[in-house]
Amino acid sequence: MFALSWDDIDLERRIIKINKTVYAKDKVESGRWYLGTTKTSGSSRKIYICDTLYYVLLNFKKLQTEYKKEYGKMYKQYTLKEVKNKYGRLVEYKIIESNCKSNKIEMVFIRNNGTYAGTDIIKYPFKIIHKELGIACRFYDLRGSFATISLRNGCEIKDIAKILGHKRIETTRNYYITSTKEDTIKVSKVVEEKINIKIVDKF
């Protein structure tokens, strides 16, 4: 998610392209965030944007445009620097703060002044979620919530797996689908509805 740039989001066709991942390396003056390929070839995928997400992204992009005007020259900008191995093969890109127009990249999830903080941008919000609200969860757990809610509401598990970037549906079923108290109660009620409850009345 935090590897997304605005080039990955086609608001007109309502498609998000997932084709890279972001990770941090040793902190250096020019930046510590890198973009690389997804974990597997199956992880590269397209996600269709629902109406709610469409308007969130549309308004968020407008807000960023307003911040650019507000901060002017103080607004942070970034470019990508190619990183190659000893054989000359491109292995990753380094995100560098720069006003250079070549290889310019506009990341989606940034601070108001344009600062790109990678996955660090959620540290403070989740600190509040953990300590002040007392909710024990990780940002990554939202994938499991998405999978479980989708499955419980009639979506096919193979379609859910595709959106999550899983090549095998077993990965989705075994590690992302959770069983809640409400689910177990529902199972009991389904059985109750299928048998003739009037049989009990005869005793």
Is the model's pLDDT at 6 over the cut of 60?
yes
Identify the pLDDT of residue 117.
92
3-state secondary structure at position 6: helix
Question: Helices (DSSP H) in the chain: which residue ranges?
Answer: 51-71, 123-131, 141-152, 157-164, 169-175, 181-194, 198-201
Q: What is the mean pLDDT of the chain?
A: 88
Question: Over the range 13-46, which residues count as b (16 or more CB within 10 Å of their CB) and which as e?
Answer: eeebebebbbeeeeeeeebebbbeeeeeeebebe
3-state secondary structure at position 158: helix
Q: Provide the 8-state DSSP code for 118.
A: G
What is the spatial distance between Cα 21 and Cα 49, in angstroms, rounded to a whole number? 20
Identify the pLDDT of residue 192.
63
Q: Which of 11, 8, 12 is nearest to 45 (CA)?
A: 8
Assign 20 a pLDDT band (cuts: 50, 70, 90).
Answer: very high
| Domain boundaries along the sequence of the chain | 6-117, 141-201
Q: What is the maximal distance between C-alpha atoms in the chain?
A: 84
pTM here? 0.80
Is the model's pLDDT at 29 over the cut of 60?
no
What is the spatial distance between Cα 71 and Cα 114, in angstroms, rounded to a whole number? 9
- 11-15, 58-62, 133-137: range with lowest mean pLDDT: 133-137
Is the model's pLDDT at 8 over the cut of 90?
yes
Burial class (CB in 10 A: 0-12, 13-18, 19+), 69: exposed
For residue range 115-124, list pLDDT tens digits in order: 999 999 998 8
Burial class (CB in 10 A: 0-12, 13-18, 19+), 51: exposed
Identify the pLDDT of residue 175.
81
